[in-house]
Amino acid sequence: MAQLSSKPSDSLFASLTKDASASIITGLMGYFLASLFGLSDDLKTAAVGASVLIGSLLVTFTKNRVMTYSRDIGKKYMEERTGIAEVFNNLESCKTDMQAEFKKANNIRLLLQIGRREIGESDASYFGVLAREKNQPNAKIRVLRASKESPFMSEERAKVRGANIRRWREDIRRLANEIDILRDELGIKIEDREHSEPFLWRIFLFDDVAYISAYLHQSDNDQKAVVYKLIKSEKSLYAIFDKYFEYLWAKGSAGDSTASTLEWAKQS
């Protein structure tokens, strides 16, 4: 089996060679046609130049069409096999899309840590303002948020990361208070439970659509980590994050977490 060249320079040289060959061939065709019709030398030169230009444009157009077609086929294959419909550079780049999903969804589930960016009082918050308006009869919001007792929110871990433990605890308290306001004062159908999960995933589930982002970096994951948009289907990875959320939800219920986990395991 032939192997693809691993050197970018080889691929560039091959592409340039093909383009040059196509230009030479179209130029020769222009010269042949000009000679066939008995044109003067000046007109032959013009014909050759026009042929080369047209040939170059046709090559560029064809390559672009082929590349676009290949990308479309690859995207379709990826969505069918994994459910990944789109990949965003970071959370900010998919903010508008997630807000649109939040507005129309009835079943909203969020796996957060301290939720400073996702649910807050300011307009900069992703879902804070929208949550206050989420009063549709069938709409329900469930939020899993970090426990102040989580080992990943401990004073020791804060020291290792160079973070302010008081700020962490204040953010945890603020998120809990904001959810209380939504539920008790504004009448929004929202529930919350605590978790002690490590910084692995941000999960946003809106009915049959999910936005997933991993904590890949030591800091600034909001800006650095890509976000995958998953569509629910038979082969989609959506099912994994759907089950993971429900597992954590059962685990975070009141009482013995071991017992609730066993109960969830019986049903799954």
Distance of CA 260 to the CA centre of its chain: 32
β-sheet bridge partners, residue 178 = none
DSSP for 62-130?
A: HHHHHHHHHHHHHHHHHHHHH-EEEEESSTGGGHHHHHHHHHH-SEEEEE-SS-TTTS-SSTTSSSHHH
- Residue 4 pLDDT exceeds 50: no
- Selected residue with higher pLDDT from 198 and 56: 198
* Cα 212 to Cα 229: distance, rounded to the nearest angstrom: 7
The 10s digit of each residue's pLDDT in 118-137 is: 987 666 789 999 999 998 88
Between the CA of residue 214 and those of 140, 204, 217, 218, what are the distances in Å? 25, 12, 9, 11
Backbone torsions φ then ψ of 192, nearest 5 degrees: -140, 150
Q: Give the residue from 234, 237, 180 showing the smallest Cα distance to 203.
A: 237
Measuring CA to CA, which residue among 96, 163, 116, 106 is closest to residue 137?
106
Q: Where in the chain is the domain with CATH 3.30.870.10?
A: 85-255
CB 238 within 8 A of CB 144: no
Give the model's confidence band at 220: pLDDT under 50 very low, under 70 low, under 90 confident, else very high.
confident
Residue type, 129: V
Q: Determine whether domain 85-255 maps to CATH 3.40.50.20.
A: no
Q: Which of 33-42, 187-196, 232-241 has the lowest mean pLDDT?
A: 33-42
Q: What distance in Å separates the CA atoms of residue 201 and residue 226, rounded to the nearest whole number?
A: 11
Which range is least confidently modeled, 5-9, 16-20, 75-79?
5-9
Residue 82: predicted pLDDT: 86
Q: Are 145 and 113 in contact (CB under 8 A)?
A: yes
Give percent of the chain with pLDDT exceeding 70: 64
Higher pLDDT pick, 44 / 183: 183
∠ Cα 103 90 193 (to 5°): 55
Give me 141's structure tokens.
Answer: 């919001």
Q: How confident is the model at residue 266 (pLDDT cuts 50, 70, 90)?
A: low
77 vs 210: CA distance, rounded Å = 18
Helix, coil or strand: residue 156? helix
Asked if residue 112 has pLDDT above 90, the reply is yes
Q: How far is CA 216 from CA 219, 220, 245, in A?
A: 9, 10, 20
Task: Name residue 71's amino acid.
Answer: R
Burial class (CB in 10 A: 0-12, 13-18, 19+), 71: exposed
Whether residue 116 has pLDDT greater than 60? yes
pTM exceeding 0.85: no
CB neighbours of residue 172 within 10 Å? 22
Confidence of residue 28 (pLDDT cuts 50, 70, 90): low
| 141 close to 134: Cβ distance less than 8 angstroms | yes
pLDDT recorded at residue 162: 84
- Tens digit of each residue's pLDDT (9 = 90 or more) over 146-199: 998 999 999 898 888 888 899 999 999 999 999 999 999 999 999 999 999 999
pLDDT, tens digit (0-9, with 9 covering 90-100), for 202-218: 999 999 999 999 998 88
Going by their DSSP bridges, the two strands 140-146 and 190-195 should be labelled as parallel
Q: Is the pLDDT of residue 65 over 90?
A: no
Amino acid 114: pLDDT:
87
DSSP code of residue 185: I
